[in-house]
Amino acid sequence: KAGVTQTPRYLIKTRGQQVTLSCSPISGHRSVSWYQQTPGQGLQFLFEYFSETQRNKGNFPGRFSGRQFSNSRSEMNVSTLELGDSALYLCASSLVQGANNEQFFGPGTRLTVL
Amino acid sequence: ILNVEQSPQSLHVQEGDSTNFTCSFPSSNFYALHWYRWETAKSPEALFVMTLNGDEKKKGRISATLNTKEGYSYLYIKGSQPEDSATYLCAFKGMYSGGGADGLTFGKGTHLIIQP
């Protein structure tokens, strides 16, 4: 069974640009969550999608948005990039929504904002 | 803002020794506690999801306990091996959402190094 895949793996952008990251969950998984990892903050929850609807949201500004498609693939968009957005972005999938389900993480997208 | 604390921050252990570390979380509003292992250059890997007070879970040489009343979980590794070197993360989910607490709140991890 293929794992969670994320594209691209590495990305370099400049301040003010926007970026879209993609996540394909494990086949059959319908919930996708996104996390940001920075050296000082650790893993921080961005949002969770289930059945094409955002179910939960973390404490991030509106510049961070996402969506989920009918095949459960998810995209995350960050507009008007700031230097502080440089981070590893991880997505994780689980069978269904609910925090009592283990999450399977992808390899991440390393975003560098110059 | 939820506070999930892990201690110690880092740990050096001799191969063959047993070790344990702690995850502290809010004792009220508990819903679930996750443990993950994150090896360098790999993705975080789920170890346990615990939901009941008094839960004990085991996977090979690794086990975990949960005390929701006092707000802590212990992770134990018996007979440490070099392949156990990783960062161990716990993540808390509260019963009630809102205030940014909708998803999993991760601790900053315990970085474990096994010395041969």
CA count, 13 A, side-chain hemisphere, B13: 26
Cross-chain Cβ contact A42/B108 below 8 Å: yes
Residue of B106, B108, B110, B111 best to disrupt the A interface, most CBs of A under 10 A: B106
Residues of chain A with pLDDT under 50: none
Question: Residue holding tokens 């789920």?
Answer: B46
pLDDT at A42 (0 to 100)? 85
- Mean pLDDT of chain A, nearest integer: 93
Percent of chain A at pLDDT > 90 equals 82
Instruction: Report the mean per-residue pLDDT for chain B.
Output: 92
Which of A64, A105, A110 is the best mutation test for B, with the most CBs of B within 10 A? A105
Q: Closest partner residue to A56 among B34, B89, B102, by Cβ?
A: B102
Task: Give the pLDDT confidence score for residue A92 in this predicted structure.
Answer: 95
Distance CA B97, CA A97 (A): 14
Q: Residue B77: CB partners within 8 Å, gap ≥ 6?
A: B18, B19, B20, B61, B62, B84, B112
Residues lower than pLDDT 70 in chain B: 1, 96-102
Is the CB of residue B3 less than 8 Å away from at least one CB of chain A? no
Nearest CA in chain B to A109: B43
* B93 vs A90: CA distance, rounded Å: 18
- A:59-88 residues touching chain B, CB 8 A cutoff: 59
